[in-house]
Amino acid sequence: MADGDARGARRSARGGGRAARRQARGASVSSVAAPSYLKRQIPLVEYLTEEGLNKIEAQADRMLAEIGLEFREDPEVLEIWRTAGAEVEGERVRFPKGMLRELIKTAPSEFTQYARNRERSVQIGGNNTVFAPVYGPPFVIDLDKGRRYGTIEDFQNFVKLAYQSPHLHHSGGTVCEPVDIAVNKRHFDMVYAHLKYSDKPFMGSVTAPERAEDSVAMARLAFGEEFVDQNCVMIQLINANSPLVFDATMLGALKVYARANQACIVSPFILAGAMSPVTVAGTLSQVYCEGLAAAALTQLIRPGAPVVFGAFVSSISMQSGAPTFGSPEGSLLLSGAAQIARRLGLPFRSGGSFTASKVPDAQAAQESAHTILATVQSGVNFCLHSAGWLEGGLCSSYEKLVMDADQLGMMHVLAKGIDLSDEALAWDAFNEVGPGGHFLGAEHTQRNFETAFYRSTIADNNSFEQWESDGKLDAASRANKQWKEMLANYQPPELDVAIDDALQDFITRRKSEFPDSNV
């Protein structure tokens, strides 16, 4: 059972009464009282008709049968495909029509990823959207210290900020690369930081099969072996080497996690024009093939293992070859890929605070706004890079993290749609105020103003004069104040001492078993 249930989860979690107390306290320690994920109550925005989807599927079927995909340097995977009935020729694998769709029938359309604090567990699929922070940048930037390589301190800071934000549901994975730690050892510190400084759900390492194994081992220490085997407690990003290739690293990680019943996000990583055709429709047919093939592979490895159909798709500048983000084509691609995932019956991952800007300026905000809105409207279930992205994903920004998170807060309001209760219709307010009156003092307003409108923590809505006397700060400068305040006020969630000790022992032992390496 990939889905588990909250009661069972509680029962099997380590610590018994202590765990319960931890949970209770965990909730109060955090300053947030927020939903643990977004529930979309507004209609989906879909740009493809049924007929359009059929065309894309027909081309994908032809591509899978005639061109196929390559699975590189992984004889085991080739053997799995051969046994399953695919046509294997060298590393090229071709699929008879319908074979892959048949295979993914065992994958859950929706599943729970459990958090250490069960109140923060998230539901991935259906009408739900889970916001996770930026993933992968080697650089970090803030207004004080500028741009530099990320360190484990930065990593911990981003984990803390995501933990504190009421609008981020997930701790994410590589919130930045901690380049001050050897490549072959940093996964220990990353997974530990997610467990120590946050109690939200998180992601494991995928950069080598043994690092994936270490991540699973640490999850077992934190959640209990049996619980991990039966439930999803980690979700991982498995990128395609688009076009139409999966490499040994990603396949290795996919196998580890699928076998451990942990979730794989199988994601085409496409900059259209370079790694796919220069068209939306062509690119979508490629997304279909790459996502479906990898999703099917997870089910061959462990039927029922949770898998998310992903799409990281944008375009490039056809003048310079540089990646572009927040483009209209990007929104169409995102929405189209979501429709494909729904047709296949799989949860969908995409979206985020995408931008090519180097600083948290108007370009950054505009590009991110278009992608974030498309994320919610298209029904993305797991949104990686929801906050903190800059520079085409090369840089995690402290300021942008809190700016984006504020915008995610707005999305929670939008996603609720329009309340049509009698109280919302407010007849008594009209009756009280009448033509030419003022609603500020109305009884209805007094009853409702506390929860009436979303309160941005970044926007300055004051007069020019007030804003001037407040120091003429732009949004990024206000964000700079905000994240520093958040870090200054950070209170860690409780972590069971026995678990903490076990994790640290494991890390010390494992780190001593091999020398540092930067590969």
Of residues 434-463, which lie at the interface with its own copies (CB under 8 A)?
A: 434-440, 442, 444-445, 448-450, 452-456, 458-463
Q: Is residue 278 near its own copies by the rule CB under 8 A? A: yes
Taking only Cα atoms into account, the Rg of the chain, rounded to an integer number of angstroms, comes to: 23
For residue 118, the SS3 value is helix
Element (H, E) at 92: strand 92-94
In this chain, which of 423, 485, 501, 516 binds its own copies, going by CB under 8 A?
423
Report the residue from 23, 239, 377, 480 that binds its own copies according to the rule CB under 8 A.
Answer: 377
For its own copies, the closer CB: 128 or 285:
285
Structure tokens at 3: 């889905």
**In this complex, which beta carbon is closest to its own copies, that of residue 185 or of residue 444?**
444
Q: Is 262 in the site for its own copies (CB under 8 A)?
A: no
Q: Which helix (H) or strand (E) holds 285?
A: helix 280-301
Report the relative pairing of strands 69-71 and 92-94 from DSSP bridges: antiparallel
Residue 375 CA to residue 372 CA, distance in Å, equals 5
Residues 6 or more apart whose Cβ sits within 8 Å of residue 465: none
Instruction: With CA atoms as reference, report the closest residue to 205 among 195, 217, 191.
Output: 191
Do the bridges between strand 87-89 and strand 139-142 make them parallel or antiparallel, or are there none, so unpaired? Answer: unpaired
Q: Which stretch binds its own copies (CB under 8 A): 5-13, 195-203, 299-307, 357-365?
A: 357-365
Q: Would you state the torsion angle of the CA atoms of residues 12, 17, 19, 23, taken in this order, to the nearest 10 degrees? A: 120
Question: Among 9, 13, 38, 63, which residue sits at the site for its own copies (rule: CB under 8 A)?
Answer: 63
By CB atoms closer than 10 A (0-12, 13-18, 19+), residue 3 is middle
**CA nearest to 69, candidates 307, 243, 277:** 243
Minimum CB–partner distance for residue 444 and its own copies (Å): 6
Q: Which amino acid is at 87?
A: E
Question: What minimum distance in Å lies between the beta carbon of 294 and its own copies?
Answer: 13
Helix (H) / strand (E) element for 401: namely: helix 398-414
| Tokens, residue 269 | 């990583």
- Quick note: the x/- pattern for its own copies over 84-123, rule CB under 8 A, is --------x-------------------------------
**Both tokens of residue 81?**
């495909």
Size of interface with its own copies, in residues (CB under 8 A): 125
Q: Considering only residues 124-183, where is the footprint of its own copies by CB under 8 A?
A: 147
Provide the minimum distance between the beta carbon of 486 and its own copies in the complex, in angstroms, as a whole number: 18
Stretch that binds its own copies, among 157-165, 200-208, 278-286, 294-302 (CB under 8 A): 278-286
| Candidates 120-128, 152-160, 163-171, 266-274; binding stretch for its own copies (CB under 8 A) | 266-274
CB of 495 to its own copies, least distance (A): 35
Does residue 279 touch its own copies according to CB under 8 A? Answer: yes
User: Does residue 292 contact residue 305 with C-beta atoms inside 8 Å?
Assistant: no
- 413 touching its own copies, by CB under 8 A: yes
383 part of the interface to its own copies, by CB under 8 A: no
Q: Which of 331, 350, 378, 396 binds its own copies (CB under 8 A)?
A: 331
What stretches of 152-306 adopt beta strand conformation (E)?
235-239, 245-246, 263-267, 269-272
Q: What is the DSSP letter of 72?
A: T
- 102 contacts: CB under 8 Å, gap ≥ 6: none
Residue of the chain from 29, 32, 34, 67 that contacts its own copies (CB under 8 A): 67
Stretch that binds its own copies, among 49-57, 114-122, 260-268, 343-351 (CB under 8 A): 49-57
Say whether residue 476 binds its own copies (CB under 8 A): yes
Minimum CB–partner distance for residue 360 and its own copies (Å): 5
Q: Which stretch binds its own copies (CB under 8 A): 95-103, 159-167, 258-266, 474-482?
A: 474-482
User: Which residue number, 57 or 494, has a Cβ lying nearer to its own copies?
Assistant: 57
Looking at 16, 321, 497, 498, which residue binds its own copies (CB under 8 A)? 321
Given 46, 87, 110, 496, the residue binding its own copies (CB under 8 A): 46
Residue 55, SS3 per DSSP: helix
Q: Among candidates 2, 36, 40, which has minimal Cα distance to 342?
A: 40
* Span interacting with its own copies, options 58-66, 161-169, 180-188, 216-224, rule CB under 8 A: 58-66
Interface residue with its own copies, options 162, 251, 296, 332 (CB under 8 A): 332
Q: Rounded CA gap, 354 and 311, in Å?
A: 13
**Could you give the C-alpha distances from 134 to 247, 265, 330, in angstroms and in order?**
23, 15, 18
Of 158-166, 217-225, 250-258, 275-283: span binding its own copies (CB under 8 A): 275-283
Residue ranges in 5-34 that form contacts with its own copies under rule CB under 8 A: none
Contact pick of 42, 143, 217, 300 for its own copies (by CB under 8 A): 42
Q: How far apart are CA 270 and CA 311, in angstroms?
A: 8
Q: Which parts of 135-181 are beta strand (E)?
A: 139-142, 146-149
Among 79, 98, 417, 485, binds its own copies (CB under 8 A): 417
